Structure 1
Amino acid sequence: MTQVPPSTSSTQELPPTPSTGPTTPPAPPFLPPSGPPPSYATRRPRRSGFAALVLTGALLVGGGAGVGGAALYDALSDDAVPASGPGAPLQVADNGDRPAADGSVESVAATVLPSVVALEVSAPGGSGGGSGVVIDSDGTILTNDHVVTLGGAIPADQARITAAFSDGTRTSAKVIGTDPLTDTALVKVDGVEDLTPVTIGKSGNLDVGEQVVAIGSPFGLDATVTSGIVSALDRPVEVGRDQQGNVTAYPAIQTDAAINPGNSGGPLVNMDGQLVGINASIRSTGSAFGSEAGSIGLGFAIPIDEVLPIIEQIRAGEAPTHARLGIQVSDAAGQAGSSDPSVRGARIERIDDDSAAADAGLRDGDVIIAIGDHRIDDTEALIATVRSYRPGDTVEVTYVRGGEEGTTELELGSDG
């Protein structure tokens, strides 16, 4: 299906121009800073002589114990270091390296880190980096489209990619397919053995407040582990649009696990170490100095359930397809001339002939306020929600017409 070009009212795939309020940019590929590396304090040399003296004394005391040990202590007592006080050696508690408890962040990190990959991307005129996760033993790595295209600056097939694994292995990788509308991409490496694919879980099983772990390469710091909770589910997030007006949006998993530039494409996992999301974007306050702001506890991941069909299409060499209603819409809240300015939703401006919306009896002027159980407050929410379905799925649409609420069922069309 051809996307409807932008007009004075936006299409279902193309909401109106964003307001000047806060934006939710994708966590961009990491761009290494210029200038000399930061300096670090020089570590002072160890006091090896003192350490040897203390060790020698300890051996002497230990050797004398049980064989005139008390007499030996008395003989040396004038010069001995007291057991306590300012001159006594510090006591060290050594509990050993205990095994990680099941369900702990430590256990999750040990399980997932071998599957996480740092991606270095370069092309004429630019370079950057991001993260990825191994999804099969054939060397397929899942990441973001904006990682392999340097934020849309280059075509994916021009990217030169190096994959760095947790064991230190480095090898080249090539893009095998992308889907800009869901910010998804697959790259593949050859000649690397004993890969550890991540276990894919169900994002639909997540609950608000559930603990999660994010792993990636923020600011180029490979194999960084952060943890937090699921702050919200089905958060409509729009992160960009192309020159044809096609919108990148998804119903995101919101988390307060620290996500920064370079985390893009890395896994968000549950406490069983299962992949439930792809870290993709952050809410940023910006910076007075023009640099990318860091984490403020508002990170967003693409739910794995929504993009798994896209991933399978790319792996099979097919062009990804997406569900669509076949309408042009605009934000309804406060719209001049609306019969009820208090109604929030997506107002239908035009319906394509023979579209899913036309077949279901929807009309120009109807305001869509819900798709299934998902509330629709604006066009961004409508796009993100429809993207969570597949072509051919049957959904219930709730709308307002002339002040009266109604519902209809329709079978979603396809842009394929």
Structure 2
Amino acid sequence: MTATNDPHNLGEHKTTQEFGRIQSPYSKPHSTEPSEDTQNAWQAQPVPVQQRSAKTMKMSSAIALALVGALVAGGVGGVVGSQVVKDQPSSVIQNLEAPVQNSTGEPPAEGSVEGVAAKVLPAVVSIQVLSRTSGEEGSGSIISPDGYVLTNNHVVAAAEQGGAKMTVMLNDGTQYDADLVAGDPNTDVAVIKLRGAQGLPTMNFGDSSKLAVGQEVVAVGSPLGLSATVTSGIVSALNRPVRAAGANTGQSSLIDAIQTDAAINPGNSGGPLVDMQGNLIGMNSMIASLSNGQDAQAGSIGLGFAIPADFARRVAKQLIDTGEATQPMIGVEVAANANVRGALVSAVKPGGPGDRAGIKPGDLITRVNDRTIESADGLVAAVRSSDFGETVTLEVSDENGSNSHTVEVTLTSE
């Protein structure tokens, strides 16, 4: 399984199927033309059907008789049915003429998918970026009345090219031109600004650190250009380190993702994942795909990934304030493809947090606080999800898993 941008390819994450063709098993019947004498004999003296032997009756005659019988029966049935409808009207007519029942007149129930959709749709936008060489589509969440929008970097990265045009459409059909404020390919977070916008509806942020596996969620966006699409599901897992290559930037992004089975497809990227109170708790970013082909189109297989809202909000603030994003670090390098369970330290920055805590090359980090670390990406994602200047507890052992002990490391400040 591979993770791809947006949904662009979760990857915008692509599944292909092959369908076989069914060939007809029937063959044309073989027939023998009767002689001229035989034809004349049949015309002169037709033999009553009841006198023929069932064993010797020609198949063509049997089929003809069956067809005649069917036609007669059908004709009689048609006449009888017509008479019934004419003399005794069916109850279906009464049902078709009965007053319709109003199924949408009541206000949506609090905490229902219908209620969530009504609350958040006005603050969700569709984004289109057209450059000289490509076009990208995605979604976003309005985070300020004057038009700041939170979205994925891979959706709007093409706007950095000269001559690119970005258009944003609101749920009510209003369109705005937009500009890229800043984006970070390492975290796949970006912020754009709508030109001349005022008084827009905004998305409320929720606390993504309080999410629980099994919690109901709703995903909103514009999959395949179908704006204002709403899907629902649950939080399938938390703290999933997911890496995907950026189609436009050539750089990979690593997120400490929320996994969900709410349907996410290409075009959902950058759109909100919300709780049942309509609060933004994640930004839909990637999907997993079973496809290995470059020409295959990715689609939802129930494995979607969203950037936690707490993390996305922190990065967005940095992008707006300074134009770039930085992350907490422990001052170590880890081996990318080590055949071990954990994060194998390959180098330690002199004087950095890890060095001061006594971490050495060859150490294996297997836990950050209460979180198990199974890979190098897992360690990077866990550290990025921590706060600047936070002190974390690492479980460290040698490469063979022996001599396990814990150390405290204070992460770098912003």
Contact 2:185–2:249 under 8 Å retained in 1: no
Contact 1:218–1:263 under 8 Å retained in 2: yes
| Whole-angstrom CA distance in 1 between matches of 2:108 and 2:276 | 13
Q: Percent identity?
A: 41
Gaps of 5+ in 2: 12-84
**Partner residue in 2 for 1:359:** 356
**Partner residue in 1 for 2:189:** 184
Greater mean deviation of Cα atoms: 393-402 or 218-227: 393-402
**Partner residue in 1 for 2:213:** 208
Gaps of 5+ in 1: 1-21, 32-78, 336-343
Tell me if 1:405 matches 2:412.
no
Q: What does the per-residue CA deviation read over 1:268-304, in whole Å, with 9 as the maximum and x for residues that have no partner?
A: 0000000000000000112668222210000000001
Aligned counterpart for 2:110 among listed residues 85, 92, 102: 102
| Whole-angstrom CA distance in 2 between matches of 1:104 and 1:121 | 33
Q: TM-score, normalised by structure 1?
A: 0.75
Q: Per-residue deviation at 1:263? A: 0.3
**Partner residue in 2 for 1:48:** none
Tell me if 1:249 matches 2:258.
no
Query: CA 1:223/1:412 → structure 2, altered by over 3 Å: closer, same or farther?
Result: same
More helix by share: 2
RMSD: 2.8
Query: CA 1:244/1:360 → structure 2, altered by over 3 Å: closer, same or farther?
Result: farther
| Whole-angstrom CA distance in 2 between matches of 1:139 and 1:365 | 49
Q: Kindly name which structure, 1 or 2, has the bigger radius of gyration based on alpha carbons.
A: 2
**Partner residue in 2 for 1:276:** 281
Contact 1:332–1:346 under 8 Å retained in 2: no
Contact 1:174–1:188 under 8 Å retained in 2: yes
Q: What does the per-residue CA deviation read over 1:209-259, in whole Å, with 9 as the maximum and x for residues that have no partner?
A: 111000000001111111110000111111137999975212100000000
Q: Per-residue deviation at 1:382? A: 1.0
| Whole-angstrom CA distance in 1 between matches of 2:354 and 2:200 | 46
**Partner residue in 2 for 1:144:** 152
Contact 2:157–2:249 under 8 Å retained in 1: no
Contact 2:223–2:268 under 8 Å retained in 1: yes
| Whole-angstrom CA distance in 1 between matches of 2:162 and 2:210 | 36
| AA at the equivalent of 2:405 | G
Aligned counterpart for 2:172 among listed residues 167, 176, 180: 167
**Partner residue in 2 for 1:76:** none
Query: CA 1:86/1:146 → structure 2, altered by over 3 Å: closer, same or farther?
Result: closer
Query: CA 1:159/1:379 → structure 2, altered by over 3 Å: closer, same or farther?
Result: farther
**Partner residue in 2 for 1:235:** 240
SS at match of 2:3: coil
**Partner residue in 1 for 2:372:** 375
Q: Per-residue deviation at 1:104? A: 0.4
Tell me if 1:297 matches 2:302.
yes
**Partner residue in 1 for 2:35:** none
Contact 2:157–2:183 under 8 Å retained in 1: no
Query: CA 1:157/1:187 → structure 2, altered by over 3 Å: closer, same or farther?
Result: farther
**Partner residue in 2 for 1:323:** 328
**Partner residue in 2 for 1:267:** 272
| Whole-angstrom CA distance in 1 between matches of 2:412 and 2:92 | 79
Query: CA 1:393/1:245 → structure 2, altered by over 3 Å: closer, same or farther?
Result: farther
SS at match of 2:168: strand
Query: CA 1:357/1:301 → structure 2, altered by over 3 Å: closer, same or farther?
Result: same
| Whole-angstrom CA distance in 2 between matches of 1:255 and 1:80 | 57
| Alignment length (residue pairs) | 337
| AA at the equivalent of 1:356 | P
| AA at the equivalent of 1:387 | R
Q: Per-residue deviation at 1:317? A: 3.3
Q: Per-residue deviation at 1:86? A: 5.5
| Whole-angstrom CA distance in 1 between matches of 2:246 and 2:328 | 17
Q: Per-residue deviation at 1:378? A: 0.7
**Partner residue in 1 for 2:381:** 384
Q: Per-residue deviation at 1:181? A: 1.5
SS at match of 1:182: coil
SS at match of 1:101: coil
| Whole-angstrom CA distance in 2 between matches of 1:84 and 1:244 | 66
Contact 1:82–1:88 under 8 Å retained in 2: no
| AA at the equivalent of 2:102 | N
| AA at the equivalent of 2:375 | D
| Whole-angstrom CA distance in 1 between matches of 2:94 and 2:247 | 68
Aligned counterpart for 1:306 among listed residues 283, 293, 311: 311
| AA at the equivalent of 2:182 | G
SS at match of 2:377: helix
Contact 1:178–1:186 under 8 Å retained in 2: yes
Contact 1:267–1:277 under 8 Å retained in 2: yes
Contact 2:130–2:136 under 8 Å retained in 1: yes
